[in-house]
């Protein structure tokens, strides 16, 4: 089950089975993003090195986004 917020189901399933190299990025219109205010903390976290070592420690398998 992909969840109630899942969009573009066909593309996600194709990516899961290796039939899709990469899906295009889409930004749908939205009037509100629930709890979106937490995103205001991201610039401060990035300045303090939040992602400094992310490539060394984390990697994603090929999938929905390239």
Task: Measure the CA–CA gap between 29 and 66, rounded to whole angstroms.
Answer: 23
The SS3 assignment for 32 reads: coil
**Averaged confidence pLDDT in the chain:** 83
pLDDT greater than 90 at residue 43: yes
Confidence at residue 40, expressed as pLDDT on a 0 to 100 scale: 92
Confidence at residue 1, expressed as pLDDT on a 0 to 100 scale: 61
**What token pair was written down for 65?**
């986004």
Q: What is the DSSP string of 20-48?
A: -S-PPP-----S--TTGGGGGGHHHHHHT
pLDDT greater than 90 at residue 48: yes
pTM of the model: 0.47
pLDDT greater than 70 at residue 66: no
């Amino acid at each position: 089950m992909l969840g109630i917020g899942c969009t573009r189901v066909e593309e996600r399933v194709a990516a899961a089975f290796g039939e899709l190299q990469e899906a295009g990025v889409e930004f749908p219109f939205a009037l509100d993003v629930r709890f979106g205010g937490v995103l205001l903390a991201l610039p401060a976290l990035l300045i303090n090195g939040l992602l400094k070592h992310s490539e060394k420690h984390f990697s994603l398998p090929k999938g929905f986004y390239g």
